[in-house]
Structures are given as structure tokens and as C-alpha cells.
Amino acid sequence: MKKLTAALFAGTAALAFAATAQAEADGEAVYNQACMACHMTGAAGAPIRGDADAWSARVEQGIDTLYTHAIEGFGAMPPKGGQMGLSDEEVQAAVDFLVEPVM
């Protein structure tokens, strides 16, 4: 019985750790995976990270609008940058990373 209890406790702890790790999305990693190809080159009119002029009108719309556009897609950008396996939180973290230099 003690082994079963210990195994259950260890399993619960592992799940809690995994949930915590997933809760803290790495915006830079998501950017590198899903966003960089366009937002580093300006492909299809994507604003380049750090280009204050390109981001100014977008940032004025508010962060929630930027999140919505990134999650749902906008113009030439597909939803979630074409990476439908990303969670909304991961996409939001990538948006935060993208606009951080200009905010």
C-alpha cells in the first residue's frame, strides 16, 4: 500500500510540474518556431520585431487586438502563424515577445 501511495504521489507531483511548465509559455521560443520567418524578414508585410514605425499603429489598437489577430489570423497571417498546435497562451507570449522592444 505504501508503494502505491508513493507512486500516486510521485505521479501527481509530475503532473503538477508539467502543468506549471506549460502554464509559463516561452514567447521567444514560440516566436522562433512560428513567427520569425515572416517577422524577421517582413514577408507579406509582417512588421519586423523592433521596428517601432511598423508597430506603432498596431500597438495603438491595444494588446488584446494584437492577441486576437495573432490567434485568429489577420491579413496574410494565418491563425497562430500556421502552427495550430500552439495554445492561445503560447501565441500571446509570442506577441508579448514581438512587441516588447517597441512598447
Question: What is the tens place of the pLDDT at every residue in 61-95?
Answer: 999 999 999 999 999 999 999 999 999 999 999 99
Higher-confidence position of 93 and 14: 93
pLDDT value at position 18? 45
Say what the pTM is.
Answer: 0.76
Tell me, what DSSP letter sits at residue 35? Answer: I
Instruction: For residue 47, give Cα distances in angstroms to 12, 15, 21, 51, 53.
Output: 43, 38, 30, 7, 9
Question: What is the tens place of the pLDDT at every residue in 16-65?
Answer: 444 444 568 999 999 999 999 999 999 999 999 999 999 999 999 999 99
pLDDT value at position 3? 58
Q: Which domains does the chain have, with CATH numbers?
A: 25-102 (1.10.760.10)
